[in-house]
Amino acid sequence: MAEEINPQHYKKDIETIDAITSQLSPMENIGGLRWQILKYVMRMGDKHGGTIDACLMDIGKAEWYINRLIKYLNDLKKDKSFIDTPSNVAELFKEKKWKMEMAQYIFLRSSIKF
């Protein structure tokens, strides 16, 4: 499969995601990373015929964004001088109903072919 998780064309003098992140608030950054994670998990296997390789590619992309989110949250925690450190990150998507609907949606949309 020719697709890459973090392809070279995104990397310039400054990586595209770093340029975008530098212009956003902490809550915007957290939300942006979360929607990228959800996007790749929700469409897992929809591309390239739903093969296992396609699923692995999408989950690999989600993992890349999960790792960025973990690093971002750890950096916020360490940087005590950061003025806008959100204290309510967990409130972004807290509703259990939403989480259950998302899990059902992902399960029903799964197009893995074995």
* Secondary structure (H, E, C), 7-50: CHHHCCCCCHHHHHHCCCCHHHHHHHHHHHHHHHHHCCCCCHHH
User: Is residue 50 over pLDDT 80?
Assistant: yes
| pTM beyond 0.85 | no
* Residue 65 within any structural domain of the chain: yes
What are the phi and psi torsion angles at 81 (to 5°)? -85, -5
pLDDT tens per residue, range 3-12: 677 777 666 6
- Tens-digit pLDDT profile for residues 51-108: 999 889 999 999 999 999 999 988 888 876 454 545 555 555 555 555 556 655 555 5
Residue 14 pLDDT exceeds 70: yes
Q: Which of 20, 13, 8 is nearest to 68 (CA)?
A: 20
Q: How confident is the model at residue 40 (pLDDT cuts 50, 70, 90)?
A: very high
Q: List Cβ neighbours of 5 (8 Å cut-off, separation of 6 or more).
A: 57, 60, 61, 64
What's the structural domain count of the chain?
Answer: 1
Q: Domain limits at 41?
A: 25-109
Q: Which two tokens stand for residue 9?
A: 């064309």
Residue-level pLDDT at 110: 54
Structure confidence at residue 45 as a pLDDT band (50, 70, 90): confident
Is residue 6 in some structural domain? no
Residue 17 lies in a domain: no
What pLDDT was estimated at residue 34? Answer: 92
The residue behind tokens 């902490």 is 26
At 114 the pLDDT is 40
In the predicted model, what is the mean pLDDT of residues 12-18? 80
104/81 Cα distance (integer angstroms): 41
Flag whether 9 is in a domain.
no
Q: Is residue 8 part of a domain?
A: no
Task: State how far the Cα of 26 lies from the Cα of 92, in Å rounded to an integer.
Answer: 12
**Residue 93 within any structural domain of the chain:** yes
In a domain, 10, yes or no: no
